[in-house]
Amino acid sequence: MSVGFTAEEKNSVTKFLSLSLSGGTLKQYKGPWNKWLAYISGVKGPGEGDCFLDLLTDCDKVIRVILFIKHLYELGLRKGQVYRQMSAIKTTFELNQRSSVVFDDPLVARAKKSTVGTNEEIEMANRHKLKNPTIAMAGDMVMKCRDLAWVEYAWDAEGMMKKGAWLVIGLSFNFGSRVGQLTLAPKTKFGDPASSDHCLKCADMKFYVKEAGVPGGVVPLTGGEEVREFLVTGSVLGKITRKKGVNNLDKNVARVQFTELSFLTSKTSRQAVITNIVDVKKVGRTSDEESILLNDLCYWMVYAKPKLGDELLTRYWPKKSGKKPDNRKVVSANIVNLVIKILARWYGLPEAMFSSRSLRSGMASQTKAVGMSDEQRNRIGGWALNSKVPKTHYIHNVATGGVFAKEQPGEWTVNEVRHLVTRRSML
């Protein structure tokens, strides 16, 4: 039996891969996906047809998969992309109750490793990283970002866009969270709605309000309409009625002791098993910076008016015609990166060296010098407790300082960032 690819088969696989890398609707996926499954495994659906792979010898099965990996490589895919494609296909086998043992064969594993790229490609990639490295941001830079993006703007459409970007930057730096956990992903090239599965929603937040006469002295209020009602009226779950209006807003905000944010993350093992994990973060009042961030979250709830089912960084503002529904937008990662570039420009630093990754790297770097344990840092940043990724990819060796919730002021400032930029520029 032939183990090569026909022209039609190549076209089918190529089309499927093109869609899987760039996005597409279910309808667009369905045709090439089913053709690919029929070709590699004979799986068309539960109880339908014979498994093509079962008709091959064990050796032919391995050769067939290796040839497909070779095809991916010839398409221009490299190690990370190939691993993701093979993991997705293996998972599909398992979902269709087909044996996936062939994907664990040592020869298949060796074939996947061989897609790392040529020496020239690796060298070019390394040169690119050295030319445009990501530099860790410092705490004073993050607070300056608040001056540029929050303080300087009013609560109008443009202002809320910049203010929302600051909240993303502040939260991402404080917790080392990925920007994608706070912003809405852009639409696909086919115009499909963006995915917000990992985007923090108001329903995932609890604001703990100081209230006398209740157990523990605080009352938890859910983000969105519930906490906004309290902030505007001072009424806790309708039990207390005080003078309405934003005149008392500052006092009501001061009564908020802390907020808990429940991030939904995904952990993917080498066996391509995805587990959703709820990672609870806390923003309190242990430092001036942390208290400012908590206050800003409260003001956002009042003026941006996100609803219970909305993403946290949803903003509404009225259209000119009162008969039309209000405009609704969610802060995107593009806006966050734009504000970060503006910040770098303000400091006279190279914009190419700063991006949203600088926030996660900044958090990891600043925790190093204050003596925070690897396990504690990984817990805050959402890495596996024994993960070496922060040391390998995020922590800068020259970093000294801490995160917002700290007992002692950190020393990792913009001056150290400038020093690091100079060192990298000389490479």
Please report whether residue 219 resides in a domain: no
Please report whether residue 179 resides in a domain: yes
Task: Give the integer Cα–Cα distance in Å for 82 and 395.
Answer: 27
Full residue range of the structural domain in which residue 42 is found: 7-117
Answer with the one of 70, 87, 117 that is the final residue of a domain.
117
Are both 383 and 418 inside the same structural domain? Answer: yes
Are both 316 and 425 inside the same structural domain? Answer: yes
Are both 98 and 182 inside the same structural domain? Answer: no
Please report whether residue 169 resides in a domain: yes
Task: Give the integer Cα–Cα distance in Å for 357 and 146.
Answer: 18
Are both 375 and 417 inside the same structural domain? Answer: yes
Please report whether residue 281 resides in a domain: no
Are both 13 and 159 inside the same structural domain? Answer: no
| CATH number of the domain where residue 400 is located | 1.10.443
Answer with the one of 95, 117, 139 that is the final residue of a domain.
117
Task: Give the integer Cα–Cα distance in Å for 105 and 96.
Answer: 20
Are both 335 and 387 inside the same structural domain? Answer: yes
Q: Is 406 left (phi over 0), alpha (psi -120 to 50) or beta?
A: beta
Answer with the one of 66, 92, 117 that is the final residue of a domain.
117
Contact 280, 261 (CB under 8 A): yes
Burial class of residue 258, CB neighbours in 10 A (0-12, 13-18, 19+): middle
Task: Give the integer Cα–Cα distance in Å for 235 and 204.
Answer: 21
Please report whether residue 68 resides in a domain: yes
Total domains in the fold of the chain: 2
Token reading at 294: 């908590």
Please report whether residue 397 resides in a domain: yes
Please report whether residue 364 resides in a domain: yes
One digit per residue, pLDDT tens: the chain, 427 residues? 344 456 665 566 556 555 554 555 555 656 655 665 555 554 333 344 445 555 667 777 787 778 778 777 877 788 888 887 788 777 767 776 777 888 888 888 888 888 887 767 766 665 655 555 678 888 889 999 999 999 989 998 889 999 999 999 999 998 888 888 888 765 433 344 444 446 889 999 999 999 877 888 899 999 999 999 999 988 876 654 444 444 589 999 999 999 999 887 655 444 444 456 677 889 999 999 999 999 999 999 999 999 999 999 999 987 766 666 678 888 888 899 999 999 999 999 998 889 888 888 888 877 776 677 777 777 777 777 777 666 666 665 443 333 444 434 446 678 878 877 887 776 5
Are both 104 and 150 inside the same structural domain? Answer: no
Please report whether residue 137 resides in a domain: yes
Are both 87 and 53 inside the same structural domain? Answer: yes
At 179 the pLDDT is: 86
Are both 146 and 100 inside the same structural domain? Answer: no
Are both 95 and 172 inside the same structural domain? Answer: no
Are both 191 and 339 inside the same structural domain? Answer: yes
Are both 321 and 426 inside the same structural domain? Answer: yes
Question: Taking the model in full, what pTM does it have?
Answer: 0.65
- Name the nearest CA neighbour of 150 among 365, 304, 368, 46: 304
